[in-house]
Structure formats: C-alpha cells, structure tokens
C-alpha cells in the first residue's frame, strides 16, 4: 500500500517563515532609508557651516566685522571670533573664526587667518 503525499499548496509553517523573512527584509530597508536621511541632513548642515565660516573669514580679511549668526538651509549658525579683524597699523592679527550649528549634533568648524592693516608701515 502506498501513501499519497499531499503536496498541493503550502503549510502554515511555511507561510509563517515567509512572513518572518519579508518582515526582516523590510525592517532592514527601512533602517537604511532612515540612516541615509540623517546622513543627508548632517551633510547639508556641515556644508552650510563650512560656507558660513568661510564667508566670515573673507569679511574679516576685508577688515569688516563678521556676523554673529547666519541662516542657511533652515539652520542657524552661530559665529564666534577670536581676535580682531581691525588690526593696528603697525601689526597683523591672527584671527580664528568658529561656527556651530544649533540643534544638530556636528562638531564646530574653525578657520584661522591673518589680517594685516593695509596702512602697515
């Protein structure tokens, strides 16, 4: 006597295994999308930070007073200046300009420059 194998369709265990595999794959894809979203946000904030500090260095080189805060891409960037952008006629000043982005977890960015008075003797 031969037993007949009923191989039509799938069992409940096979269906559960398939659902678990699909959930694991979907969770991995959602995590990657979220990670790329945060990476893009930080990259935009860092680009704004670098451009803001660089523009304030150029203002300082022109012997103008740098701004205290700059808006860029929806971010507020605070600028701090260490040194004077208006040196005495007889000397040059080393100036460090640092920018920090509010509400974003990225490190501050600094640039140094030397500002000399064009009337220096």
**pLDDT score for 58:** 94
pLDDT at 56 over 90: yes
Long-range contacts of 82-86 (CB under 8 A, 24+ apart): 83/115, 84/115, 85/59, 85/60, 85/61, 85/115, 86/115, 86/117
Mean pLDDT of 57-65: 91
Q: What is the rounded distance in angstroms from the CA atom of residue 88 to the CA atom of residue 102?
A: 34
pLDDT category of residue 1 using cuts at 50, 70 and 90:
low
Q: Per-residue DSSP letters for 7-62?
A: -SS--HHHHHHHHHHHHHHHHHHHHHHHHHHHHHHHHHHHHHHHHHHHHHHHHHHT
**pLDDT score for 81:** 94
pLDDT at 38 over 90: no
Question: Mean of the per-residue pLDDT values for the chain?
Answer: 86
């Amino acid at each position: 006597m031969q037993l007949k194998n009923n191989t039509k369709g799938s069992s409940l265990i096979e269906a559960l295994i398939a659902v678990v595999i699909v959930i694991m794959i979907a969770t991995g894809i959602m995590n990657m999308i979220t990670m790329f979203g945060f990476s893009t946000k930080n990259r935009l904030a860092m680009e704004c930070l670098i451009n803001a500090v660089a523009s304030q260095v150029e203002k300082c080189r022109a012997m103008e007073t740098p701004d205290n805060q700059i808006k860029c891409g929806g971010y507020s960037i605070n600028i701090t200046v260490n040194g004077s952008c208006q040196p005495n006629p007889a000397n040059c000043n080393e100036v460090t300009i640092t920018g920090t982005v509010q509400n974003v977890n990225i490190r501050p960015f600094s640039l140094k420059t030397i500002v000399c008075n064009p009337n220096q003797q």
